[in-house]
Chain A
Amino acid sequence: MSGPNEPLLEVRDLAVQFFTYQGTVRALEGVSLSVARGEIMGLVGETGCGKSVLARSVLRLIADPPGKITAGAIRFKGRDLLTLSRREMRRIRGNEISMIFQEPMSSLNPVFTVGSQMLEVVALHQAVGREEGRRICVEMLRQVKMPDAEQVLAKYPHELSGGMRQRVMIAMELSCRPDLLLADEPTTALDVTVQAQVLAILEGLTRQRGVAVLFISHDLGVIAQLCDRVAVMYAGGIIETAPAGAIFAAPRHPYTRGLLHAIPRIAARQESLAVIPGSVPSLVDPPPGCRFHPRCAERFFPCDRVVPPFYEPAPGHRVACHLHAGEEGRRSWERS
């Protein structure tokens, strides 16, 4: 069924729409993505590009209504998650696929202690007594380098700092030994020094246990420091996928290049920052052709008519941009 070379997670041609009073929001369209076992895959994009929607679709957590997965397939270990029953899906959530969010406060119950919430998770997966469960919890907290692990168990979530809460979440989500962890901007709300701690813990634990991670962030810096491969999203679609080294050293899509040049760096001297003019388009009425074309400095005749397919200018480096079309691609827009 699932061969050794088959990716752990494979999303193919996924489309998600939200039906709102303002109209139909085409939040994702034709999104394909794969995550190999043990790989840290980065998913980067600006606000509203659909990166969180993608993560939620994998767990089928899109609220319906107003949202709906209208097309595509999500294969996880050879099974299509979109065809599973609710019951089977529930078994996958938290067991085989876990998720951590930007604000851990929303996943922790404020009226129970950290210990009782962790015990509950432990008890779900292993038949252990109170003492044994407690010991496992302390061990879990030690693994995320929590200082004073024993005292933390007796505390309520609001008594912990943001960084500590995120550690508790990581400990809980990894305790059930998932194969895939979806991390949706887990460090965005944290200060940089704390972010560095949390990322080090996250990377260490997942690499050590061979857990694959889909790491979602708007911060190219964090992605560069952590990920093996990177997918860049813009306005509801993936526009470039490549190994991390390639995408930062030689970005192919004009949007990726623009993003990289827009970051103020501390290592370089920049008189003024490169700018991507305009702002992200509405997904109710997205531009025709390439969705980036109205802001693109390098657009040419096919861009506003033909949706660019993926080209592979280098092995493993896929980019959806007409600039990289070969002879064949050129002929195809001339026909249309």
Chain B
Amino acid sequence: MAGERIGAWGRGKRPLRINVFDEFRRQYAWQIRELGFMVRLLGRNPSAVAGFAIIAGMVAMALAAPVLAPFNPIQISLGDRLLPPGGAHWFGTDELGRDILTRVMYGARISLWIGVIVVVIAGGLGAVIGAVSGYLGRRFDDLIMRVMDVILSFPPLVLAMALAAALGPSLNNAILAVAFVMIPKFARMVRGEALAVKEKQFIAAARASGAGSLWIVWHHVLPNCLSSVIVLGTLILGETILIAASLSFIGLGAQPPTPEWGAMISVGRKFLMDQWWYATFPGVFILVTVIGFNIFGDALRDVLDPRIRR
């Protein structure tokens, strides 16, 4: 039976099973083409390539940490305390004899994970809040936007600290705190876009055919804001990693012995004078990751901006 199908395919008759894939391809033909176009444009942009290379390198390192890392990240080996870089320990070891390279690699998992989770939560909630607020307008919009203004009026790190402290020091609470702080950034931007989309005639057409506000927000407003949310998300990912690391640095985020970059710097600070490698390597990784997300986000914004197209 299966053999027959393959044979039929060879003669140009499409077997049934392929149809699902075919339908998918037909339905998303535009997106596929658009994606290819975008990738080509990004490929021509040197900073996009550099940013992407950094991000891809970090992600690969994070995913492959259990395979690639030479040591166990939390196993204590007091005999190897504070060894300088070289030989078996490329980045040296910490005060409990753990390999810093290994811990930095595992730390990438945590930092990237925090970044992604925060952006998904804040981006999702922020986009919905912004879209509803912009579309409904009037009093509701005024109320929501004033609340967002209040959140935005605090420096993000300070507010995140206060929240994380109030919730109690743990990684999950740090994620919640940072996400909360980031919501207004998404909400404000999406609201602006929603205001523009709202004036389009297809919204009036949808209303005339009886669509309710929620339907319109979900099917018209949000999809039209998606590309901006992705761009902002990429840019904010860098900032998020930085703030999360800062929270860990002051002890409000990841708790020892979790190999988190900020927490490592925090402990390494005490040894900065004599064992420079302890705090330096996690710091360099934070720096490089944040820069990677920022330059890639900038390039992505340029490519997605319809004004520079065609």
Contacts and interface: CB of A to CB of B under 8 A. Distances in A.
Interface of A: 20-22
Contacts of B309: 21
- Which of B37, B309, B310 is most buried by chain A, counting CB atoms within 10 A of its CB? B310
Interface string B31-42: 000000100010
A6 B41 CA distance: 49
A21 B38 CA distance: 11
A48 to B, nearest CB: 14
A68 to B, nearest CB: 16
Nearest to B309: A21
6 contacts: A20-B310, A21-B37, A21-B41, A21-B309, A21-B310, A22-B310
Interface in B119-151: none
Nearest to B41: A21
Contacts of B37: 21
Interface string B285-310: 00000000000000000000000011
B86 to A, nearest CB: 51
Contacts, number: 6
A225 to B, nearest CB: 32
Interface in B177-235: none
B43 to A, nearest CB: 13
Nearest to A21: B310
Interface in B22-66: 37, 41
Contacts of B310: 20-22
Contacts of A20: 310
Contacts of A22: 310
Nearest to B40: A21
Nearest to B310: A20
Name the 6 nearest CB pairs between A and B, nearest first: A20-B310, A21-B310, A22-B310, A21-B37, A21-B309, A21-B41
A108 B41 CA distance: 35
B117 to A, nearest CB: 36
Contacts of A21: 37, 41, 309-310
A20 B310 CA distance: 6
Nearest to A18: B310
A141 B37 CA distance: 51
Interface in B66-81: none
Nearest to B37: A21
A21 B310 CA distance: 6
Nearest to A22: B310
Contacts of B41: 21
A65 to B, nearest CB: 12
A296 B301 CA distance: 44
Interface in B258-291: none
A17 to B, nearest CB: 15
Nearest to A66: B310
A22 B310 CA distance: 8
A1 B41 CA distance: 51
A22 B37 CA distance: 10
A20 B41 CA distance: 12
A163 B37 CA distance: 43
B126 to A, nearest CB: 32
A21 B36 CA distance: 12
A21 B41 CA distance: 9
B310 to A, nearest CB: 5
B260 to A, nearest CB: 43
B276 to A, nearest CB: 49
Nearest to A25: B310
A22 B309 CA distance: 10
B127 to A, nearest CB: 29
A22 B34 CA distance: 12
B305 to A, nearest CB: 14
A20 B37 CA distance: 13
A18 to B, nearest CB: 9
A133 B206 CA distance: 55
A143 B276 CA distance: 82
A21 B306 CA distance: 13
A22 B40 CA distance: 12
A80 to B, nearest CB: 31
A7 B228 CA distance: 54
A19 to B, nearest CB: 11
A179 to B, nearest CB: 36
A63 to B, nearest CB: 12
A21 B309 CA distance: 9
A205 to B, nearest CB: 38
B275 to A, nearest CB: 53
